[in-house]
Structure 1
Amino acid sequence: MPDDKEIKASAGFNYAYQEDKQLLEEAAREAGELALRYFNRDPQVWTKQNYSPVTEADLAVDKYLKERLMAARSDYGWLSEESEDNVDRLDKQRVFVIDPIDGTRAFIDGGSEWTISLAVVENNRPVAAVLYAPVRGELYCASRFGGAQLNNVPVICPRLASLDGARAAGPRPAIARGPLARAGVQNAGYVRSLAYRIVMVTTGALDLALAREDANDWDLAAADLIVEEANGILRDKSNRVLKYNLPNVHHDSLYASSKALGRLVAPIMPALQFPQRRHG
């Protein structure tokens, strides 16, 4: 009789992905402790060229994670919001895709929804992922073929299949006007961490998460795998699966939901009104 490991291997279960997930979990918790040292303590803030804020906490966490993860996997590539891009990543079999603090404005304002986002990407898709919200004590994780968990408890997207009464978060014009509003979708407010907004569909805290164009690999890769392994979907406005670790790391407007709800959202995505990104 085959043992459990042989059965999982025959089903495509990859223990390397599990090992990477464990590494990401450990690094995320350690990075969370580091970030909390700056939280609610008036960290120094700068404005980047794209007019988005960056704090000394973002930079400290980025430095820590790069040292910690690359020491453990020196043959992996590296892509992070707060690191200079190195095109060598394009030639690597596996790549770390990192957002040291997703939701920096929430971090600055003392909000609780900011997260630390970590993923390993292989063949342009995430294969191991962790999203950690230190203030809320929530750690989402997933590995390909290994399911998704929140604080070690499996999560599965609720099978909502109606837009009427569905709770959505994202840019207000896309929800409050147009086809979603006419279908009865309810505005659940704005969640400043895009990655956290996306994974909220895995627990039913949200039914639909939306994002305007120009999100980046580091905003999405970890959340993408967590949603996928929770039997949900993350798709762009043309209903395409997202690909990562390409020369261009920017993405079109997108949505995350259960598969059943996605079949209703996909046809109307091109008609949604997404505002231009605010500067400052």
Structure 2
Amino acid sequence: MQSSELDRRLQIVREIAVAAGEVALQFYDEKIQIEWKSAGNPVTAADHAANETILAQLHQHFSGEAVLSEESQDDMSRLGKDLVWVVDPLDGTKEFIKRNGEFSVMIGLVENGRATLGVVSQPAAAKVYFGAAGLGAWFAAANGMHTLRVSDLREPARLRMVASRSHFDARVDRVRKRLGIHEIRHSGSVGLKCALIAAGECEVYIHPSSKVNMWDSCGPAAILTAAGGVMTDLRGEPLNYTAVEVRHRQGLVATHGRLHEQVIQAILDEHVTVE
């Protein structure tokens, strides 16, 4: 896809993500009705409303293009398509329920099997992260627009890890200790964790779960890559966006790229397996 077309799409999808976030915020100060899709996997009316907003606007602007969304049934129409939109209308639903602001709207575009465009909007903070392959990555907030670029730290002990706010993972902590990392920051939402790496505020995020889905990774991966970072699975292999199954069964690892192989080796040395 030509850069001009990619940029056009990026600007449209940025507006869509912000609009969906505004819809989600309409439910933020109300009593939140929670449903459970499965154990530990909540969904709210805000998830559904944001999803409807995104799907309607994607259809309006990109009619006929395939969409994979967490809150819609996968009809498999995406298989074999060159372009697929991948949507998580509310990433960090648990954080939304807790009202701590650490949730996001995430939209990504897969082009020929690769995450090439992404938007992560944090509506509670009026922030939006966005980027695309060959164009770059940016962060917009009340104080203006800023370029996203990963840090250049190359000493393992100086790396800063970002980890889940909702639960402690002993496997990740073993890797942290092996690398000699002392500083750890906690955040909700996969997208917001990856945004911290893209912004040069952290360098390592490890998610050793077999329940990571394409919609968890696509938008963040595109932004992180455009900012100079790297996202793979726990074995260091590229994430697959063309499979029938939507889950990344080998989890994900996001880094600033400078020491990605060393992080993967530490994961292997600690015999970390997904659960």
TM-score by length of 2: 0.90
Q: Does residue 116 of structure 2 align to residue 127 of structure 1?
A: yes
Cα displacement string for residues 123-182 of structure 1 (whole angstroms, at most 9, x for unaligned residues): 1112221100011222111122100111132111001112113221235313432x4303
Aligned to 2:205: 209
Taking the aligned partners of 2:19 and 2:138, their CA distance within structure 1 comes to: 19
Q: CA RMSD in A?
A: 1.9
Alignment partner of 1:193 out of 189, 192, 197? 189
Shift of residue 247 of structure 1?
0.7
Q: Does residue 10 of structure 2 align to residue 24 of structure 1?
A: no
Larger Rg: 1
What 5-or-longer segments of structure 2 have no aligned partner? none
On the 8 A contact 1:76/1:93 being kept in 2, the answer is: no
Q: Which letter does structure 1 place at the counterpart of 2:254?
A: A
Taking the aligned partners of 1:162 and 1:221, their CA distance within structure 2 comes to: 28
Shift of residue 195 of structure 1?
1.7
Taking the aligned partners of 1:72 and 1:160, their CA distance within structure 2 comes to: 40
SS of the residue corresponding to residue 15 of structure 2 reads helix
What 5-or-longer segments of structure 1 have no aligned partner? 1-11
Alignment partner of 1:167 out of 136, 141, 160? 160
SS of the residue corresponding to residue 84 of structure 1 reads coil
**Counterparts in 2 of 1:191 and 1:275: CA distance versus 1, 3 Å:** farther
Alignment partner of 2:149 out of 144, 148, 156? 156
Q: Does residue 240 of structure 2 align to residue 247 of structure 1?
A: no
Taking the aligned partners of 1:274 and 1:205, their CA distance within structure 2 comes to: 25
How do residues 23-62 of structure 1 correspond to structure 2 at under 5 angstroms?
Answer: 23-49=12-38, 51-62=40-51
SS of the residue corresponding to residue 77 of structure 2 reads helix
On the 8 A contact 2:148/2:200 being kept in 1, the answer is: no
Aligned to 1:181: 177
Taking the aligned partners of 1:275 and 1:122, their CA distance within structure 2 comes to: 30
Q: Which letter does structure 2 place at the counterpart of 1:41?
A: E
Shift of residue 263 of structure 1?
2.9
**Counterparts in 2 of 1:16 and 1:272: CA distance versus 1, 3 Å:** farther
**Counterparts in 2 of 1:185 and 1:18: CA distance versus 1, 3 Å:** same
On the 8 A contact 1:175/1:185 being kept in 2, the answer is: no
TM-score by length of 1: 0.88
Fraction of identical pairs, as percent: 26
On the 8 A contact 1:78/1:86 being kept in 2, the answer is: no
Taking the aligned partners of 1:233 and 1:121, their CA distance within structure 2 comes to: 16
Structure ranking higher in strand proportion:
2
Aligned to 1:3: none
Shift of residue 256 of structure 1?
1.1
Cα displacement string for residues 228-279 of structure 1 (whole angstroms, at most 9, x for unaligned residues): 01111011111112121421111112211122121321212224476876xx
SS of the residue corresponding to residue 265 of structure 1 reads helix
On the 8 A contact 1:167/1:208 being kept in 2, the answer is: yes
SS of the residue corresponding to residue 260 of structure 1 reads coil
Aligned length: 265
Cα displacement string for residues 54-103 of structure 1 (whole angstroms, at most 9, x for unaligned residues): 00000111111111111211121010000011111113221110000000
